[in-house]
Amino acid sequence: MISRTITKRITGRRLAAGVCGLLAALSVGLSPTPAAAGEPAAQSAPKVELTLDVSGSMRTRDIDGQSRMSAAKQAFNDVLDAVPEGVQLGIRTLGANYPGEDRQVGCKDTRQLYPVGPINRTEAKTAVATLVPTGWTPIGPALQAAAKDLQGGDGQRRIVLITDGEDTCAPLDPCQVARDIAAQGIHLTVDTLGLLPDAKTRSQLSCIAEATGGTYTSVQHRGQLRDRVHQLVNRTAHPVRTPVATQGAQQCAGAPQLKPGLYGDREKFAEHRWYRVDVKPGQELRASVSVAADRAVNNDYGVLLRASTVHGREIVRGSESGDGRTDAISTGLRYAKPPAGSSDAAKDAAETVCLQVSNSFSAPASVKTDPGMPVELAVDLVDGPHNASDPASFGLGRGWWLLGALVLAGLVGGLLWGWISRWRVTVWRTN
């Protein structure tokens, strides 16, 4: 009797385990699997250039009891020891060589201390050890030169600027230099670090970073400097998807033809820009746009993304507005073209959809409008719903069968589990 009871309990447990395994297998089998993808396209090695201020003010001893220059050297040595494999790194200085008072000469004082390429840690550390705080702070010329140092290839590119003061070489505005770099569409990011910065330095370094999509960090201690530079170098080794540079037209006719992807452009205040996308029957167009306010703007602004036919008839639009300072404002839209096979032959052909991007930003008269603000446009074409005119099916596409299968699997699993539970209770009471 005891043996039979034990056998029944073991059998029940095995059955329960088998059902759980069946449900797990069902869930795995019903889960969407990623589509087979080809080999990733080869991409150039990521590049980063550390751009260090070696002006006379770097002699100041106020970082953990040592000079700013000593703290920077130690941080650099630690970072050089941990450069990720495959990252090409270079070092550029500003204010390291000319000690005189001639402004014209001092504002040209920037040089590449170590060329961008595979890192030789011993050589790079030796070069850093020779630095002595000397001259001016030509940030603008240093950024221009660093951008040239990083030319070539399609990999991630980053300038890490470390300085303890604002630029001393006006009228060349480093913030405008950063905007010009961003307007070139080369996807070069400038991150800035201020060593014990004052208000003017913080403002200038923040502007430089914002203009290129970078970050600004205030540094008070050597460990902070080391950790932040190390983090930025590592970020270069693991880049995010970067937009493809494009230029919208003033009207749909002659606008660039876009395929699915991520695109970057520039748009002035209150400007309209046009792009074209071909949508085949049965496809759904999904588009979104973000406009970044990389400079001071007035309150009350908005962005519009509008889809229309080549004849000007509006199809759908998305818009967003704001009130107050913002880093970016975004909106999006979706449009599904009915599947082929209708009686109207024109509907069976690919349709050219015109995408209009507009903004209502404005700014004080003192703010420069050239180059325009950064625009990021995402375009995707996916399989549309079976019946584009049916609102209930919009957005689910062909996922109804999966939803139904999951519901059915859940129902069957619940019934089986309930039956097993009742059977086990019956067996227990019997014995």
**Where in the chain are the domains?**
47-237, 244-341+352-393
pLDDT digits (tens, 9 = 90+) for 316-363: 999 998 876 556 788 999 999 888 765 555 556 889 999 999 999 998
Backbone angles phi, psi at 274, to 5 degrees: -120, 145
Q: What is the pTM of this model?
A: 0.55
Cα–Cα distance list, 47 to 86, 180, 262 (Å) = 9, 20, 21
The pLDDT assigned to 249 comes to 95
DSSP 346: G
Give the contacts of 375 (CB within 8 A, at least 6 positions apart). 248, 264, 265, 266, 267, 273, 289, 290, 291, 292, 357
The DSSP annotation for 298-344 comes to: -S-EEEEEEEE-TTS-EEEEEEEEE-S--SEEEEEEEEEPPPS-SS-
C-alpha angle 365-367-370 in degrees, rounded to nearest 5: 115
State how far the Cα of 232 lies from the Cα of 254, in Å rounded to an integer.
40
Beta-bridge mates of residue 303: 320, 359
Cβ–Cβ under 8 Å, residues 300 and 357:
no
Work out whether strand 216-219 and strand 188-195 pair parallel, antiparallel, or are unpaired: parallel
User: For residue 146, with 0-12 CB atoms within 10 Å meaning exposed, 13-18 middle and 19 or more buried, which class applies?
Assistant: buried
**Three-class SS state of 164:** coil
State how far the Cα of 317 lies from the Cα of 116, in Å rounded to an integer.
46
The pLDDT assigned to 414 comes to 77
Work out whether strand 328-336 and strand 283-292 pair parallel, antiparallel, or are unpaired: antiparallel
Assess whether the previous peptide bond of 118 is cis (omega < 30° from 0).
no
Domains 47-237 and 244-341+352-393 share a fold: no
CATH of domain 244-341+352-393: 2.60.120.380
Question: 47-237, what's its fold?
Answer: Rossmann fold (3.40.50)
- In the predicted model, residues of the chain with pLDDT beneath 50 are 1-40, 387-398
Classify the C-alpha dihedral 53-57-58-59 as positive or negative.
Answer: positive
The pLDDT assigned to 29 comes to 42
State how far the Cα of 370 lies from the Cα of 325, in Å rounded to an integer.
20
State how far the Cα of 351 lies from the Cα of 356, in Å rounded to an integer.
16
pLDDT digits (tens, 9 = 90+) for 241-298: 667 889 999 999 999 999 999 998 999 998 999 999 999 998 999 999 998 887 778 8
The pLDDT assigned to 346 comes to 54
